[in-house]
Amino acid sequence: MTPWRGLLHEYADWLDLRGVTDVVTLLEGNTPLIHAPRLSELVKADVWLKLEGLNPTGSFKDRGMTMAITKAKSAGATTVVCGSTGNTSAAAAAFAARAGMSCVVLVPQGKVALGKLAQAIVYGAEVIQIRGNFDRALTMARELTQHLPITIVNSINPDRIEGQKTGAFEVVDALGDAPDILSIPVGNAGNISAYWRGFTQYHFAGVSSILPKMWGFQAAGAAPIVLGHRVDEPETIATAIRIGNPASWVPALEAVDESHGAIRAVTDDELLAAYSFLARNESVFCEPASAASVAGLIKFGVPAGSRVVCVLTGNGLKDPDTAVSQSVTPVVIEATMDDLLRHLQ
């Protein structure tokens, strides 16, 4: 077996690699698709989990970033920028460092999970916290490209979506066909659009016999697509998807319409219940936003016996504050066997 060479090499025949001279990769992709026996039993379906938290920077963003940074570098760019709720900035910082490029990230002050902020800083990006939310950060990142010679690597950059569609390829490659339902958290709505592109591309090339229904889930406090209007002050514990005006709103709706899917909302309580369920029952520690895909299945149910893939977009270690604050604080005892036995009895 030849070792995994990263997405741009492995899926070269399926990607638009025009103009690419030098591939920037951290050997992203090839993430596990694991069966979820307890969740399957709970929802009476055959549920699988795509562990995107096992990418090099701990989220699915690496798929789009290998492509975006590769293309930017090939085009001669030396600096990239993104607005981010955290994961995009971690991935941009890492791939930019690998490419020898500078990276500027704009993040909402106080609303980025600690691990993600740490990543962007340690990878050497210029991290700027703004007194505003993600939507404002994205607007500023876009505007910055008018003032400085800098390439934007948010998902409004088409190279991002092109790279992220490989998630769908891997699902089909692992299962031997597309699932009946693909369940996925929705924030800026790039990933649901990217998966749909991947599934349709494979299907029309004859690789899969079916197309999945695309089920997207937003956090109830940040659910513009569900509500049908922009949310000016989005709020949710799942800071990754604390987004009120998704850039890929239109393609996401197309994916849902064409696939006969839906975008619905789950509350923070529902999402946190799914987050704990996954950790305790499937030994999968994802970040809160990722659990929206599972919370949605539990809340709305699925047709009996269907095959479902939930995309768990990011690693639970990214957000230690939520993990700890949502759990019982570990007890402290004297360092004696008496105390230990007393506590355990």
Does 58 bind ligand AN7 (CB under 6 A)? Our answer is: no
Distance CA(286)–CA(309), nearest Å, equals 15
Q: Work out how close the CB of 183 gets to ligand AN7 at its nearest, in angstroms, rounded to a whole number.
A: 12
Does 84 bind ligand AN7 (CB under 6 A)? Our answer is: yes
Stretch touching ligand AN7 by CB under 6 A, among 42-50, 145-153, 186-194, 337-345: 186-194
Nearer to ligand AN7, 46 or 115 (CB): 115
Does 290 bind ligand AN7 (CB under 6 A)? Our answer is: yes
Distance CA(105)–CA(141), nearest Å, equals 8
Neighbours of 326 (CB within 10 A): 14
Does 28 bind ligand AN7 (CB under 6 A)? Our answer is: no
Nearer to ligand AN7, 220 or 240 (CB): 240
Structure tokens at 99: 């490419």
Q: Which of 30, 31, 29, 41 is nearest to 282 (CA)?
A: 41
Contact at 8 Å (CB) between 215 and 342?
A: no
3-class secondary structure, 345: coil
**Beta-sheet pairing, 126-130 with 151-152:** unpaired
Nearer to ligand AN7, 61 or 307 (CB): 61
Stretch touching ligand AN7 by CB under 6 A, among 41-49, 83-91, 117-125, 254-262: 83-91
Does 88 bind ligand AN7 (CB under 6 A)? Our answer is: yes
Place of tokens 């997207």: 216
Interface residues for ligand AN7 in 206-245 (CB under 6 A)? 240-241
Distance CA(178)–CA(15), nearest Å, equals 19
Stretch touching ligand AN7 by CB under 6 A, among 22-30, 144-152, 173-181, 187-195: 187-195
Neighbours of 123 (CB within 10 A): 21
Distance CA(183)–CA(46), nearest Å, equals 13
Nearer to ligand AN7, 7 or 240 (CB): 240
Stretch touching ligand AN7 by CB under 6 A, among 170-178, 179-187, 197-205, 332-340: 179-187
Q: Find the binder of ligand AN7 among 108, 163, 187, 212 (CB under 6 A).
A: 187
Task: For residue 159, give the DSSP letter.
Answer: H
Q: Find the binder of ligand AN7 among 23, 153, 171, 189 (CB under 6 A).
A: 189
Q: Work out how close the CB of 256 gets to ligand AN7 at its nearest, in angstroms, rounded to a whole number.
A: 13
Does 322 bind ligand AN7 (CB under 6 A)? Our answer is: no
Nearer to ligand AN7, 99 or 241 (CB): 241
Q: Site size for ligand AN7, by CB under 6 A?
A: 22
Q: Work out how close the CB of 173 gets to ligand AN7 at its nearest, in angstroms, rounded to a whole number.
A: 21
Beta strands in the chain (DSSP E): 33-35, 46-51, 79-83, 102-108, 126-130, 151-152, 181-185, 213-219, 262-266, 307-312
Q: Work out how close the CB of 313 gets to ligand AN7 at its nearest, in angstroms, rounded to a whole number.
A: 3
Q: Phi/psi of residue 57, each to 5°?
A: -105, 15
**CA angle (333, 276, 220) in 5-degree steps:** 130
Does 287 bind ligand AN7 (CB under 6 A)? Our answer is: yes
Q: Work out how close the CB of 145 gets to ligand AN7 at its nearest, in angstroms, rounded to a whole number.
A: 17
Does 115 bind ligand AN7 (CB under 6 A)? Our answer is: no
Structure tokens at 200: 């349709």
- As a whole number of Å, the end-to-end CA separation of the chain is 51
Distance CA(81)–CA(103), nearest Å, equals 6
Does 188 bind ligand AN7 (CB under 6 A)? Our answer is: yes
Q: Which residues of the shown chain bind ligand AN7 in the complex (CB under 6 A)?
A: 59, 61, 84-88, 155, 185-191, 240-241, 287, 289-290, 313-314
